[in-house]
Amino acid sequence: MIYGLIGEHLGHSFSAEIHARLGEEPYELRELAPEEVPLFLREGEFRGINVTIPYKQAVIPCLDEISETARAIGAVNTVVRRNGKLYGDNTDAAGLTRLLQRTGADLRGRKVLILGTGGTSLTAMYAARALGAAQTVRVSRSGRDGAVTYEQAAAEHRDARILINTTPCGMYPRTEECPVDLERFPELEAVADVVYNPLRTNLVLEARKRGIPAEGGLYMLTAQAVRAAELFRNTEYPPDTAEEIYRELLREKENIVLTGMPGSGKSTLAAELHRLTGKPVADTDKLIEEKAGRTIPEIFREDGEERFRDMESSVIAEVSARGGQIIATGGGAVLREKNVTALRRNGKLVLLERAAETLVPTEDRPLADTREKMDRLWREREPVYRAAADCTVAMEGTPEETAREVESRWQA
């Protein structure tokens, strides 16, 4: 290994993809058991490594020197070999600082709640104080090690203005979780979540729904990786490097989710977008039929609409957990709020708008197989579609023209 990442569970790390954009040398992921860490550090031939959960504090006794930043935080996430000695630093601090700045938050004089008590929480305390926070309060389930419990936080710190989540709550595969009820913190001005898989946790989505600026952890991961690469190679990258790589990753990882009425052209446009972007297509109606071994009209006839909606929610939960796709949804997919939430974690929802009179009823659509049903469906669903959409694209041009418009609006 020349450069790489060590930790306990690394199966969903994006680090190798980021570092591949920063240098030609390979960047490897190495999962280690706790007892393997000291030997790896002593005898490894790496030039530089990143360190993630749960070894950010455990590596410190194995190092010859650590930076003032790492010493102040009490955690190391970057180790560089220099003249045979191991030098430890903490680039998470730079990454989290830039993430907080990205939310637009002004921490000066503010009370900051930090969820979690692990190594990243120490980084959050350091970054918050460096940005001028008046008070930092760590929160944990147990309330040990100087932290308060979640109940104490809700009772005694309702006036917190900034919230930083450093726990794995909401991380894949447990994406349904949310660490706190934001209703209990009515003064919040910004939320930052270090979790980057999914791109947007339920915490981030709930904050945005309430009009609170909120960002997930992908930008922090990217910014800290750029700083680590600078230490690895003893160089400096242009100031906009992190932003450029972040946007590249987001385009690669984020789903394009097509919503709209039955017959609006979602499947046709998905195929065109596949040709344009190279992203694979996941058609939720087709996936439902494959899993059930029956057509959608048969499911409606034999099991009823409610059972179909349950199957649809199950497929959406599974599909939306993956990134980098074009997802063509069924006409009623956004009727359930939990489906919208699941789709939004890793995607942007694009409403394909077509004039009601151009929507053609067909026999394979049980709820829209007559003109009367189609018109009624449109009147009922239009406000739901618009509320769920991140952007709207009119189906007026050719499929190719519309696909380019969708891609442009999705990337905006």
Would you say 88 and 70 are in contact if contact means Cβ atoms under 8 Å apart?
yes
**Which tokens belong to 16?**
């190798």
Would you say 242 and 98 are in contact if contact means Cβ atoms under 8 Å apart?
yes
Strand partners, 135: 111
Alpha helices for 162-233 (secondary structure H): 202-209, 218-233
The pairing of beta strand 326-328 with beta strand 3-7? unpaired
The Cα angle at residue 166 between residues 23 and 37, in degrees rounded to 5: 60
Neighbours of 12 (CB within 10 A): 10
Tell me which of 56, 111, 279, 348 is the catalytic residue. Answer: 56
The C-alpha atoms of residue 267 and residue 254 are separated, in whole angstroms, by: 19
Q: What are phi and psi of 199, to 5 degrees?
A: -60, -35
CA-CA distances (angstroms) from residue 306 to 95, 185, 359?
45, 36, 24
Indicate the helix (H) or strand (E) that contains 254: none
Helix, coil or strand: residue 407: helix
CA-CA distances (angstroms) from residue 44 to 3, 37, 61, 243, 266?
11, 10, 16, 32, 52
The C-alpha atoms of residue 148 and residue 139 are separated, in whole angstroms, by: 5
The C-alpha atoms of residue 339 and residue 345 are separated, in whole angstroms, by: 10
Residue 173, preceding peptide bond in cis (omega within 30° of 0): yes
Residue 85 among the catalytic residues: no
The Cα angle at residue 381 between residues 272 and 330, in degrees rounded to 5: 40
Active site residues: 56
